[in-house]
Amino acid sequence: MSNAFEDFIPIPSGQFAMVLTQRLMSDILGQVGYEVRGKEVIYTKDLPAQSPAVNYVSIQLIVMDFSQYSDYELLPITADQEADIIETVIKMFAPEQVQPGIVDSTSDSK
């Protein structure tokens, strides 16, 4: 809380153990990282033991209830998520091309 502009590094869920095995980045280059596990936030360092001590952390969630969006409002998704969504929707609505049955008279043995 003493420095509202000091950010912590987010670590994707389940990746903290993998980061610890990497010698070059196990201490996250001297910075503090965090991992969200359900309703808990796990930090990579003991915050009260830091100098200066960090006793309180302010977390701002940047989410919005989907029911609050209008029909034409842009959704807060990343570019790679957008590409995956578009590809999935195209697969869902694209007509399935069925190969016609081909009769091969040369394979008919009499």
Q: Could you report the average pLDDT of every consecutive run of 10 residues in the chain (110 residues)?
A: 68 79 73 83 83 78 76 81 90 81 65
13 Cβ contact partners less than 8 Å away, ≥ 6 residues apart: 35, 36, 37
Tell me how far the alpha carbon of residue 109 is from its chain's centroid. 58
CA angle 64, 55, 12 (to 5 degrees): 45
Which pLDDT value is given to residue 23? 74
102 is written with which tokens? 């081909």
